Amino acid sequence: MAVEVDYYELLEVDRGADDAAIKSSYRKLAMRWHPDKNPGDAEAEARFKAISEAYECLKDPQKRAAYDRFGHAAFQNGGMGGGAGGPGGGFSDLGDIFETIFGSAFGGGGRQQARRGADLRYDLEVSLEEAFHGKQAQIEIEVAAACEPCDGSGAEPGTGTRRCNLCGGHGQVRAQQGFFMVERTCPTCHGRGEVIEKPCRKCGGEGRVDQPQTLDVTIPPGVDTGTRIRLGGKGEAGPFGAPPGDLYIFVHVRRHAVFERDGTTLLTRVPITFTTAALGGEIELPGIDGERHTVPIPAGIQSGKQLRRRGAGMPVLQGRGRGDLVMEITVETPTKLTARQKELLRELQETETGDECPGSKGFFDKLKEAWNDLTD
Q: Give CA–CA dist 272/258, Å, rounded.
A: 15
Q: Say whether 357 counts as a known binding-site residue.
A: no
**Torsion of the alpha carbons at 201, 205, 208 and 211, rounded to the nearest 10:** -30
Q: Given the DSSP bridges, would you call strands 325-332 and 265-273 parallel, antiparallel or unpaired?
A: parallel
Q: Say whether 189 counts as a known binding-site residue.
A: yes
Q: Say whether 57 counts as a known binding-site residue.
A: no
Question: What residues have CB less than 8 Å from 129, skipping those under 6 apart?
Answer: 288
Q: Say whether 167 counts as a known binding-site residue.
A: yes
Q: Say whether 186 counts as a known binding-site residue.
A: yes
Give the phi and the psi of residue 196 in degrees, each rounded to 5.
-80, 130
DSSP 164-195: -TTTTTSSEEEEEETTEEEEEE-TTTTTSSEE
- Helix (H/G/I), strand (E/B), else coil: 353: coil
**Torsion of the alpha carbons at 221, 122, 261 and 283, rounded to the nearest 10:** -60
CB 223 within 8 A of CB 154: no
CB 245 within 8 A of CB 120: yes
Give binding residues for Zn(2+) as ranges. 147, 150, 164, 167, 186, 189, 200, 203
Binding-site residue numbers are 147, 150, 164, 167, 186, 189, 200, 203
